[in-house]
Amino acid sequence: MRFFSVFDIVKNKANQLGYTETEMYASLKNHNVNKKDLLAYKENGVIPTDKVLNGILSYLGMTKVELELKLGRIPAGLEDVFLNHTKEIAKILEDKNSVKLNEFNSIQETKPYFYTDLGKLYNGDCLELFKQVPDDNVDTIFADPPFNLDKEYDEGVTDKNSFSGYLDWYYKWIDECIRVLKPGGSLFIYNIPKWNTYLSGYLNRKLNFRNWITVDMKFGLPIQNRLYPANYSLLYYVKGDKPKTFNVQRIPLQTCPHCGREIKDYGGYKNKMNPKGVTLSDVWSDIYPVRHSSSKNRKFNELSVKLLDRIITMSTNEGDVVLDPFGGSGTTFAVSEMLGRKWIGFELGNCEIIKERLENKDKDRKLLDKVYEEKNKLFPDKVKELRKKNGLWIDDDFRQDNEENSEGDKKKRKQ
């Protein structure tokens, strides 16, 4: 786990010395460290090159080993030292954890902003609200945190943070997710790939990896001198060896919208296709951004009903508990309500939007009905009619053949 970036450590030293930012860069220049060089390390956790490193170490008044420790690394060649002093290290950590436990026990319960027969919505910081949730209490957690893109989400709520500050905050609420999940419970984290690369490394030491799901969706405009970003990543982890619930999800066979022909040729295996559809893979190309006003509940980003239906139905059964620490527009809670799941929701920003949405479910019911027009069907009704019109096979043809063959076999046995 990385604790800080080099920039954070240098900035902290400047604060201790009472330097302004201008004075900090002037002092660094005396140690042969330019502002441009330092800023290059602000957005990552790498160790600087020798020339810059020596200047930074001189400014900080510390050794390379000290710097690596502050970056959250065990310096190469010193692994045995850590292994031989685990008792001392553990005692320091346990003493700190004891203080946290006392804080946890003294927490006063926050009243819900809004509740239904199935769930409760709380308005506040998720790190504080998590303290009200007992250990091993939740079946599935879905989290769509701020992406640290310096955006304002709602009523002055922004996601601007330093690189290491963002990750430090990220790891704190992830630990809370792990604590409240039941054994076999599922955790889904939705973010841009950049952040999930760091998070997966952290989670791999704590939970059981299931899938890195690619959600094929363009972000917006291309970025100069970079590949066009066209996907979000959805991490899927389980607490324990295997999920206590995994319901197979099926999607329609991809077909041409004009003629109805299948885009992928399954050749001689057509008669073996499951009439409920193709088994879902770890690349989701059928989730679309919610942009039209008829589908949106707020002016900010909003997740689709289809995405949450898939996650919730895959990992839970009716009556199970779903938690979302970043409620946003309330899609998780709306879908949970319609699917008969219990839910717990946190939101730092405007909860009134979520309340109004849950009190007026007609829009979401129509959206979910549209999802189920295609869910668990090899060919949706409209596609089936188009294929019939163009003389193409449909799954009913093979079922009819199988039924006729079965009847023929029965007659032969009777004879």
Condensed to tens digits (0 to 9), the pLDDT of residues 362-398 reads 999 999 999 999 999 999 999 999 999 999 988 887 7
Please provide the size of the chain in residues: 415
What letter does residue 76 receive in the DSSP assignment? T
Instruction: Tell me the range of 130-139, 220-229, 273-282 where mean pLDDT is highest.
Output: 130-139
What letter does residue 263 receive in the DSSP assignment? S
Q: Are strands 138-143 and 321-324 parallel, antiparallel or unpaired?
A: parallel
Calculate what percentage of the chain has a pLDDT beyond 70.
82
Higher model confidence: residue 333 or residue 65?
333
Higher model confidence: residue 227 or residue 399?
227
- The three-state secondary structure class of 115 is strand
> Strand pairing partners for 225?
none
pLDDT band at residue 161, thresholds of 50, 70 and 90?
confident
The Cα–Cα gap between 137 and 343 comes to 11
Predicted confidence (pLDDT) at residue 216 exceeds the cutoff of 50: yes
Residue type, 406: S
The Cα–Cα gap between 139 and 315 comes to 8
How does pLDDT run across 2-45, given as a tens digit for each residue? 567 788 888 888 888 888 989 998 998 888 888 887 777 766 55
Question: Is there a contact between 164 and 346 (Cβ–Cβ < 8 Å)?
Answer: no
The torsion defined by the Cα of 45, 46, 51 and 53, in degrees rounded to 10, comes to 50
Is this prediction's pTM over 0.85? no
- Does CATH number 3.40.50.150 belong to domain 110-372? yes
pLDDT score of 204: 92
How does pLDDT run across 52-63, given as a tens digit for each residue? 888 888 988 888
CA dist 389 → 113, 265, 383, 384 (Å): 54, 19, 10, 9
pLDDT score of 46: 67
Residue type, 319: G
Residue spans per domain, the chain: 6-75, 110-372
pLDDT score of 415: 42
Calculate what percentage of the chain has a pLDDT beyond 90.
44
Predicted confidence (pLDDT) at residue 236 exceeds the cutoff of 90: yes
The Cα–Cα gap between 134 and 114 comes to 20
Q: What is the DSSP string of 330-393?
A: SHHHHHHHHHT-EEEEEESS--HHHHHHHH--HHHHHHHHHHHTTTT-SS-HHHHHHHHHTT--
Q: What are phi and psi of 252, to 5 degrees?
A: -65, 155
Q: What is the 3-state secondary structure (H, E, C) of 306-324?
A: HHHHHHHHHHCCCCCEEEE
Question: Is there a contact between 57 and 33 (Cβ–Cβ < 8 Å)?
Answer: no
Query: Cβ neighbours of residue 250 under 8 Å, at least 6 residues apart?
Result: 274, 276, 277, 278, 279, 280, 375, 376, 377
Q: What are phi and psi of 184, to 5 degrees?
A: 85, 0
